[in-house]
Amino acid sequence: MTVGRPRATVAAMAPYRPGKSLAMAADEYGFDLEAVAESAKLSSNENPYPPVPSVVAAIAAAAGDVNRYGDHRAAELREALGVWLGVDPERVATGCGSVGLLQQLFLAYVGPGDEVVYPWPSFEAYPVDVAITGGVEVAVPLVNHAFDLDAVANAVTPRAKLVVLANPNNPTGTAVHVDQIRGLLQQVPDDVLVVVDEAYREFATTNLGDPITELMPDYPNVVVLRTFSKAYGLAALRTGYAIADPSVVTQIDKVLIPFAVNHLAQVASLAAIEARDEARVIIDRLVSERDRVVDALRGYGWEIPDAHANFVWLPLGERTDEVFPALERRGVVVRPFPEVGIRVTIGTPAENDRFLEVLADLD
Ligand SMILES: *Cc1c(COP(=O)(O)O)cnc(C)c1O
Protein backbone atom coordinates (compact mmCIF):
# COMPACT_ATOMS: atom_id res chain seq x y z
CA MET A 1 0.00 0.00 0.00
CA THR A 2 1.20 3.48 -0.81
CA VAL A 3 0.72 6.13 1.83
CA GLY A 4 0.20 9.62 0.51
CA ARG A 5 0.14 10.47 -3.18
CA PRO A 6 3.68 10.54 -4.57
CA ARG A 7 4.14 12.41 -7.84
CA ALA A 8 3.55 9.96 -10.67
CA THR A 9 7.01 10.54 -12.08
CA VAL A 10 8.64 9.63 -8.74
CA ALA A 11 6.34 6.68 -8.06
CA ALA A 12 7.38 5.22 -11.42
CA MET A 13 11.11 5.49 -10.70
CA ALA A 14 13.30 2.57 -9.65
CA PRO A 15 15.23 3.22 -6.41
CA TYR A 16 18.81 4.48 -6.84
CA ARG A 17 21.22 1.56 -6.96
CA PRO A 18 24.67 2.45 -5.61
CA GLY A 19 27.72 0.38 -6.60
CA LYS A 20 27.58 -2.92 -4.73
CA SER A 21 29.62 -3.18 -1.53
CA LEU A 22 31.69 -6.25 -0.72
CA ALA A 23 29.31 -7.12 2.11
CA MET A 24 26.33 -6.98 -0.27
CA ALA A 25 28.13 -9.23 -2.76
CA ALA A 26 29.10 -11.68 0.00
CA ASP A 27 25.47 -11.83 1.06
CA GLU A 28 24.14 -12.23 -2.46
CA TYR A 29 26.53 -15.00 -3.51
CA GLY A 30 26.82 -16.62 -0.11
CA PHE A 31 30.60 -16.35 0.25
CA ASP A 32 32.42 -15.60 3.45
CA LEU A 33 34.05 -12.20 3.11
CA GLU A 34 36.85 -13.14 5.52
CA ALA A 35 37.61 -16.26 3.50
CA VAL A 36 37.95 -14.49 0.16
CA ALA A 37 41.52 -13.37 0.70
CA GLU A 38 41.75 -10.89 -2.12
CA SER A 39 38.37 -9.31 -2.52
CA ALA A 40 38.16 -6.03 -4.37
CA LYS A 41 35.43 -3.38 -4.48
CA LEU A 42 35.77 -2.04 -7.99
CA SER A 43 32.18 -0.93 -8.46
CA SER A 44 31.97 2.80 -7.70
CA ASN A 45 35.00 4.47 -9.28
CA GLU A 46 36.30 5.46 -5.87
CA ASN A 47 39.92 6.27 -5.18
CA PRO A 48 41.37 3.24 -3.38
CA TYR A 49 43.72 5.49 -1.42
CA PRO A 50 42.86 7.87 1.43
CA PRO A 51 43.32 11.61 0.91
CA VAL A 52 46.83 13.01 1.52
CA PRO A 53 47.79 13.36 5.24
CA SER A 54 47.36 17.15 5.40
CA VAL A 55 43.75 16.78 4.22
CA VAL A 56 43.01 14.07 6.78
CA ALA A 57 44.58 16.27 9.46
CA ALA A 58 42.44 19.26 8.44
CA ILE A 59 39.26 17.15 8.67
CA ALA A 60 40.27 15.82 12.09
CA ALA A 61 41.09 19.31 13.35
CA ALA A 62 37.67 20.60 12.28
CA ALA A 63 35.71 17.74 13.86
CA GLY A 64 34.99 19.74 17.01
CA ASP A 65 33.35 22.56 15.05
CA VAL A 66 30.36 20.61 13.79
CA ASN A 67 27.93 22.01 16.37
CA ARG A 68 27.62 25.09 14.11
CA TYR A 69 26.27 25.14 10.59
CA GLY A 70 28.91 25.59 7.95
CA ASP A 71 28.94 28.51 5.52
CA HIS A 72 25.93 27.90 3.26
CA ARG A 73 27.63 29.34 0.15
CA ALA A 74 31.09 27.98 0.99
CA ALA A 75 32.41 31.44 0.10
CA GLU A 76 36.01 30.74 1.06
CA LEU A 77 36.04 27.59 -1.04
CA ARG A 78 34.51 29.42 -4.02
CA GLU A 79 37.25 32.07 -3.68
CA ALA A 80 39.97 29.43 -3.53
CA LEU A 81 38.57 27.60 -6.55
CA GLY A 82 38.41 30.91 -8.42
CA VAL A 83 42.07 31.64 -7.65
CA TRP A 84 43.13 28.11 -8.57
CA LEU A 85 41.24 28.07 -11.87
CA GLY A 86 41.68 31.73 -12.74
CA VAL A 87 37.97 32.57 -12.79
CA ASP A 88 35.89 35.14 -10.97
CA PRO A 89 34.33 33.59 -7.83
CA GLU A 90 30.94 34.74 -9.14
CA ARG A 91 31.34 32.03 -11.75
CA VAL A 92 31.89 29.33 -9.14
CA ALA A 93 29.14 27.28 -7.47
CA THR A 94 29.66 24.54 -4.92
CA GLY A 95 27.26 21.70 -4.30
CA CYS A 96 26.72 18.42 -2.50
CA GLY A 97 28.91 16.48 -4.91
CA SER A 98 28.73 17.18 -8.59
CA VAL A 99 25.57 15.05 -8.61
CA GLY A 100 24.09 17.64 -6.27
CA LEU A 101 24.96 20.41 -8.72
CA LEU A 102 23.57 18.38 -11.57
CA GLN A 103 20.28 18.00 -9.74
CA GLN A 104 20.30 21.77 -9.04
CA LEU A 105 20.75 22.41 -12.78
CA PHE A 106 17.78 20.16 -13.55
CA LEU A 107 15.62 21.78 -10.85
CA ALA A 108 16.47 25.24 -12.10
CA TYR A 109 16.18 24.60 -15.85
CA VAL A 110 14.10 21.49 -16.61
CA GLY A 111 10.33 21.38 -16.22
CA PRO A 112 7.79 18.74 -17.27
CA GLY A 113 8.11 18.06 -20.99
CA ASP A 114 11.47 19.79 -21.41
CA GLU A 115 14.05 17.74 -23.25
CA VAL A 116 17.47 16.77 -21.95
CA VAL A 117 19.91 15.40 -24.51
CA TYR A 118 22.84 13.14 -23.69
CA PRO A 119 24.85 10.37 -25.31
CA TRP A 120 24.01 6.92 -23.95
CA PRO A 121 25.23 4.81 -22.18
CA SER A 122 26.49 7.48 -19.83
CA PHE A 123 26.23 8.40 -16.15
CA GLU A 124 23.21 6.79 -14.51
CA ALA A 125 22.36 9.92 -12.52
CA TYR A 126 21.18 11.72 -15.67
CA PRO A 127 17.98 9.70 -16.25
CA VAL A 128 17.24 9.89 -12.53
CA ASP A 129 17.22 13.69 -12.68
CA VAL A 130 15.12 13.57 -15.83
CA ALA A 131 12.58 11.44 -13.98
CA ILE A 132 12.59 13.64 -10.88
CA THR A 133 11.89 16.76 -12.89
CA GLY A 134 9.42 15.18 -15.33
CA GLY A 135 11.68 16.04 -18.25
CA VAL A 136 12.01 14.01 -21.42
CA GLU A 137 15.16 12.02 -22.08
CA VAL A 138 16.72 12.21 -25.52
CA ALA A 139 19.37 9.49 -25.42
CA VAL A 140 21.77 9.50 -28.36
CA PRO A 141 23.51 6.14 -28.93
CA LEU A 142 27.29 5.97 -28.67
CA VAL A 143 29.22 4.92 -31.75
CA ASN A 144 32.18 2.63 -31.02
CA HIS A 145 31.69 3.36 -27.29
CA ALA A 146 32.25 7.10 -27.93
CA PHE A 147 30.17 10.24 -28.45
CA ASP A 148 28.66 10.99 -31.83
CA LEU A 149 28.50 14.75 -31.34
CA ASP A 150 26.86 15.44 -34.71
CA ALA A 151 24.05 13.11 -33.73
CA VAL A 152 23.85 14.89 -30.36
CA ALA A 153 23.58 18.26 -32.14
CA ASN A 154 20.88 16.89 -34.45
CA ALA A 155 18.90 15.65 -31.46
CA VAL A 156 18.59 19.17 -29.99
CA THR A 157 15.08 20.48 -30.69
CA PRO A 158 13.45 23.74 -29.56
CA ARG A 159 12.17 21.82 -26.51
CA ALA A 160 15.72 21.09 -25.30
CA LYS A 161 16.96 22.81 -22.15
CA LEU A 162 20.12 20.88 -21.36
CA VAL A 163 22.77 18.84 -23.16
CA VAL A 164 24.89 16.76 -20.79
CA LEU A 165 28.28 15.30 -21.74
CA ALA A 166 30.30 13.22 -19.28
CA ASN A 167 33.87 13.75 -20.48
CA PRO A 168 35.59 11.30 -20.01
CA ASN A 169 32.41 9.28 -20.30
CA ASN A 170 31.22 7.00 -17.53
CA PRO A 171 30.98 3.98 -18.11
CA THR A 172 32.97 3.70 -21.36
CA GLY A 173 36.00 5.84 -20.42
CA THR A 174 36.15 7.46 -23.87
CA ALA A 175 36.82 11.20 -24.18
CA VAL A 176 36.55 14.08 -26.63
CA HIS A 177 38.74 17.16 -27.08
CA VAL A 178 37.23 20.61 -26.44
CA ASP A 179 37.54 21.36 -30.16
CA GLN A 180 34.94 18.67 -30.82
CA ILE A 181 32.69 20.16 -28.14
CA ARG A 182 33.13 23.54 -29.85
CA GLY A 183 31.78 21.96 -33.02
CA LEU A 184 28.70 20.91 -31.06
CA LEU A 185 28.28 24.36 -29.50
CA GLN A 186 28.28 25.94 -32.96
CA GLN A 187 25.19 23.90 -33.78
CA VAL A 188 23.29 24.32 -30.49
CA PRO A 189 21.13 27.40 -29.74
CA ASP A 190 22.74 29.62 -27.10
CA ASP A 191 19.76 29.30 -24.75
CA VAL A 192 20.48 25.59 -24.26
CA LEU A 193 22.94 24.84 -21.45
CA VAL A 194 25.72 22.45 -22.44
CA VAL A 195 26.95 20.75 -19.28
CA VAL A 196 30.42 19.20 -19.44
CA ASP A 197 30.69 16.80 -16.52
CA GLU A 198 34.41 16.37 -15.89
CA ALA A 199 34.30 14.10 -12.84
CA TYR A 200 37.30 12.17 -14.22
CA ARG A 201 39.23 15.01 -15.85
CA GLU A 202 42.28 14.55 -13.62
CA PHE A 203 42.85 11.01 -14.92
CA ALA A 204 42.98 11.95 -18.60
CA THR A 205 46.52 11.73 -19.92
CA THR A 206 45.82 12.80 -23.48
CA ASN A 207 45.28 16.52 -23.84
CA LEU A 208 41.53 17.20 -23.81
CA GLY A 209 41.88 20.98 -23.64
CA ASP A 210 40.09 23.02 -20.98
CA PRO A 211 36.45 24.03 -21.48
CA ILE A 212 36.79 26.78 -18.85
CA THR A 213 39.45 28.72 -20.73
CA GLU A 214 38.80 27.52 -24.26
CA LEU A 215 35.00 27.37 -24.52
CA MET A 216 33.38 29.52 -21.85
CA PRO A 217 34.70 32.88 -23.12
CA ASP A 218 32.89 32.30 -26.45
CA TYR A 219 30.01 30.18 -25.18
CA PRO A 220 28.44 31.42 -21.92
CA ASN A 221 25.98 28.51 -22.11
CA VAL A 222 28.77 26.06 -21.16
CA VAL A 223 28.65 24.72 -17.59
CA VAL A 224 31.64 22.73 -16.31
CA LEU A 225 31.18 20.30 -13.41
CA ARG A 226 34.12 18.95 -11.41
CA THR A 227 34.47 17.12 -8.12
CA PHE A 228 36.76 16.30 -5.20
CA SER A 229 35.24 12.80 -4.98
CA LYS A 230 37.32 10.82 -7.43
CA ALA A 231 40.87 12.07 -7.99
CA TYR A 232 41.14 13.74 -4.57
CA GLY A 233 39.72 10.78 -2.64
CA LEU A 234 36.94 12.70 -0.86
CA ALA A 235 33.88 10.78 -2.11
CA ALA A 236 32.31 10.44 1.33
CA LEU A 237 32.41 14.16 2.07
CA ARG A 238 30.51 15.31 -1.04
CA THR A 239 32.00 18.43 -2.61
CA GLY A 240 31.49 19.22 -6.25
CA TYR A 241 31.85 22.52 -8.04
CA ALA A 242 30.51 24.15 -11.15
CA ILE A 243 32.05 26.86 -13.29
CA ALA A 244 29.34 28.74 -15.15
CA ASP A 245 28.02 32.11 -16.18
CA PRO A 246 27.20 34.19 -13.04
CA SER A 247 23.49 34.15 -13.98
CA VAL A 248 23.53 30.33 -13.98
CA VAL A 249 25.27 30.34 -10.59
CA THR A 250 22.52 32.65 -9.29
CA GLN A 251 19.76 30.30 -10.45
CA ILE A 252 21.29 27.05 -9.22
CA ASP A 253 22.20 28.58 -5.85
CA LYS A 254 18.47 29.15 -5.26
CA VAL A 255 17.85 25.40 -5.23
CA LEU A 256 20.88 24.39 -3.16
CA ILE A 257 19.67 22.58 -0.03
CA PRO A 258 20.67 24.74 2.96
CA PHE A 259 24.19 23.84 4.17
CA ALA A 260 24.41 20.89 1.78
CA VAL A 261 28.14 21.46 1.37
CA ASN A 262 28.95 20.61 4.97
CA HIS A 263 31.69 22.21 7.03
CA LEU A 264 34.04 19.20 6.98
CA ALA A 265 33.64 18.99 3.20
CA GLN A 266 34.60 22.65 2.86
CA VAL A 267 37.62 22.30 5.14
CA ALA A 268 38.77 19.15 3.33
CA SER A 269 38.32 20.67 -0.12
CA LEU A 270 40.32 23.78 0.82
CA ALA A 271 43.11 21.56 2.15
CA ALA A 272 42.93 19.43 -1.00
CA ILE A 273 43.47 22.48 -3.18
CA GLU A 274 46.54 23.38 -1.09
CA ALA A 275 47.93 19.86 -1.37
CA ARG A 276 47.05 19.25 -5.02
CA ASP A 277 50.64 18.51 -6.03
CA GLU A 278 50.75 15.66 -3.53
CA ALA A 279 47.43 14.32 -4.81
CA ARG A 280 48.95 14.28 -8.28
CA VAL A 281 51.34 11.55 -7.12
CA ILE A 282 48.37 9.35 -6.19
CA ILE A 283 46.56 10.16 -9.44
CA ASP A 284 49.67 9.27 -11.46
CA ARG A 285 49.89 5.95 -9.64
CA LEU A 286 46.27 5.16 -10.59
CA VAL A 287 46.86 6.23 -14.18
CA SER A 288 49.85 3.93 -14.55
CA GLU A 289 47.83 1.08 -13.02
CA ARG A 290 45.04 1.81 -15.47
CA ASP A 291 47.45 1.64 -18.38
CA ARG A 292 48.88 -1.60 -17.04
CA VAL A 293 45.38 -3.13 -16.78
CA VAL A 294 44.44 -1.97 -20.29
CA ASP A 295 47.66 -3.48 -21.71
CA ALA A 296 47.05 -6.74 -19.87
CA LEU A 297 43.45 -6.99 -21.10
CA ARG A 298 44.50 -6.29 -24.68
CA GLY A 299 47.26 -8.85 -24.23
CA TYR A 300 44.56 -11.41 -23.39
CA GLY A 301 42.87 -10.46 -26.66
CA TRP A 302 40.12 -8.23 -25.28
CA GLU A 303 39.05 -5.41 -27.55
CA ILE A 304 38.48 -2.51 -25.23
CA PRO A 305 38.24 1.23 -25.86
CA ASP A 306 41.02 3.59 -24.77
CA ALA A 307 40.58 4.38 -21.06
CA HIS A 308 40.78 8.04 -20.01
CA ALA A 309 39.41 7.77 -16.46
CA ASN A 310 40.02 5.58 -13.40
CA PHE A 311 38.18 2.57 -14.77
CA VAL A 312 38.13 0.20 -17.74
CA TRP A 313 35.16 -0.81 -19.86
CA LEU A 314 34.53 -4.36 -20.98
CA PRO A 315 31.99 -4.18 -23.81
CA LEU A 316 30.67 -7.70 -23.38
CA GLY A 317 27.15 -7.27 -24.71
CA GLU A 318 25.06 -10.31 -23.90
CA ARG A 319 27.96 -12.03 -22.14
CA THR A 320 27.82 -9.33 -19.45
CA ASP A 321 25.16 -11.13 -17.48
CA GLU A 322 27.23 -14.30 -17.38
CA VAL A 323 30.64 -12.72 -16.65
CA PHE A 324 29.83 -10.29 -13.86
CA PRO A 325 28.38 -12.84 -11.41
CA ALA A 326 31.42 -15.03 -12.08
CA LEU A 327 33.70 -12.14 -11.09
CA GLU A 328 31.61 -11.17 -8.08
CA ARG A 329 31.36 -14.72 -6.79
CA ARG A 330 35.13 -14.62 -6.49
CA GLY A 331 35.13 -11.38 -4.56
CA VAL A 332 35.71 -8.95 -7.45
CA VAL A 333 32.75 -6.60 -7.25
CA VAL A 334 32.19 -4.57 -10.44
CA ARG A 335 29.52 -2.45 -12.08
CA PRO A 336 27.47 -4.33 -14.66
CA PHE A 337 25.31 -2.62 -17.28
CA PRO A 338 22.96 -5.49 -18.19
CA GLU A 339 23.49 -6.74 -21.75
CA VAL A 340 25.91 -3.88 -22.50
CA GLY A 341 29.13 -4.27 -20.56
CA ILE A 342 31.03 -4.18 -17.29
CA ARG A 343 32.80 -1.20 -15.77
CA VAL A 344 35.75 -2.03 -13.55
CA THR A 345 37.32 0.62 -11.32
CA ILE A 346 41.10 0.78 -11.03
CA GLY A 347 42.03 -0.21 -7.47
CA THR A 348 45.31 -0.94 -5.72
CA PRO A 349 47.84 -3.06 -7.65
CA ALA A 350 46.77 -6.13 -5.63
CA GLU A 351 43.10 -5.53 -6.42
CA ASN A 352 43.84 -5.05 -10.10
CA ASP A 353 45.90 -8.24 -10.15
CA ARG A 354 43.04 -10.08 -8.52
CA PHE A 355 40.63 -8.79 -11.18
CA LEU A 356 42.97 -9.77 -14.03
CA GLU A 357 43.61 -13.20 -12.55
CA VAL A 358 39.92 -13.99 -12.02
CA LEU A 359 39.05 -12.73 -15.50
CA ALA A 360 41.82 -14.80 -17.12
CA ASP A 361 40.45 -17.91 -15.39
CA LEU A 362 36.96 -17.37 -16.77
CA ASP A 363 37.41 -18.57 -20.30
C1 LIG B 1 31.20 9.79 -10.00
C2 LIG B 1 30.60 10.76 -10.97
C3 LIG B 1 30.14 11.99 -10.55
C4 LIG B 1 30.05 12.28 -9.14
O5 LIG B 1 30.39 12.83 -8.34
P6 LIG B 1 30.18 13.45 -6.92
O7 LIG B 1 30.94 14.70 -7.02
O8 LIG B 1 30.72 12.47 -5.98
O9 LIG B 1 28.71 13.68 -6.77
C10 LIG B 1 29.70 12.91 -11.47
N11 LIG B 1 29.69 12.62 -12.77
C12 LIG B 1 30.09 11.43 -13.22
C13 LIG B 1 30.07 11.16 -14.68
C14 LIG B 1 30.55 10.47 -12.33
O15 LIG B 1 30.89 9.26 -12.77
The residue nearest atom 12 of ligand 1, judged by CA position, is 199
Backbone angles phi, psi at 210, to 5 degrees: -130, 110
Q: Tell whether 305 and 193 lie within a shared domain.
A: no
Per-residue pLDDT tens digits for 59-80: 999 999 999 999 999 999 999 9
CATH code for the domain of 179: 3.40.640.10
Domain end residue (candidates: 212, 242, 274): 274
Task: Give 37 Cα–ligand 1 centroid separation in angstroms.
Answer: 30
DSSP 312: E
Whether 8 is covered by a domain: the verdict is no
CATH code for the domain of 315: 3.90.1150.10
Beta strands in the chain (DSSP E): 40-41, 92-95, 115-120, 136-141, 160-166, 193-197, 222-227, 240-243, 311-314, 332-333, 335-337, 341-345
Q: Tell whether 116 and 264 lie within a shared domain.
A: yes
Average pLDDT over residues 150-166: 98
Task: State which of 42, 81, 99, 225 you would mutate to test the pocket of ligand 1, scoring each by most atoms of that ligand within 8 A of its C-beta.
Answer: 99
Per-residue pLDDT tens digits for 198-251: 999 999 999 999 999 999 999 999 999 999 999 999 999 999 999 999 999 999
pLDDT band with cut points at 50, 70 and 90 for residue 26? confident
The residue nearest atom 2 of ligand 1, judged by CA position, is 199
Using left for φ > 0, alpha for ψ between -120 and 50, and beta otherwise, residue 317 falls in left
Residue 95: exposed, middle, or buried by beta-carbon count in 10 A (0-12, 13-18, 19+)? buried
Backbone angles phi, psi at 233, to 5 degrees: 70, 30
The binding-site residues of ligand 1, defined as CB within 6 angstroms of any ligand atom, are 45, 97-99, 123, 166, 170, 197, 199, 227, 229-230, 235, 240
Question: What is the rounded CA–CA span in Å between residue 260 and residue 82?
Answer: 20
Question: What is the rounded CA–CA span in Å between residue 90 and residue 52?
Answer: 29
Q: Tell whether 258 and 285 lie within a shared domain.
A: no
The residue nearest atom 9 of ligand 1, judged by CA position, is 97
Please list the helix, strand and coil fractions of the chain in percent, rounded to the nearest 5, in that order.
45, 15, 40
Domain residues for the domain of 31 are 18-45+277-362
Of ligand 1's atoms, which has the minimum distance to the CA of residue 309? 15
Task: Give 238 Cα–ligand 1 centroid separation in angstroms.
Answer: 10
Number of domains in the chain: 2
Give this prediction's pTM: 0.96
Task: Give 164 Cα–ligand 1 centroid separation in angstroms.
Answer: 13
Q: Tell whether 310 and 297 lie within a shared domain.
A: yes
Q: Tell whether 178 and 305 lie within a shared domain.
A: no
Per-residue pLDDT tens digits for 277-322: 999 999 999 999 999 999 999 999 999 999 999 999 999 999 999 9
Report the chain's C-alpha Rg in angstroms: 20
Question: What is the rounded CA–CA span in Å between residue 199 and residue 309?
Answer: 9
Domain end residue (candidates: 243, 274, 305): 274
Buried b / exposed e over 184-196, threshold 16 CB at 10 Å, is bbeebeeebbbbb
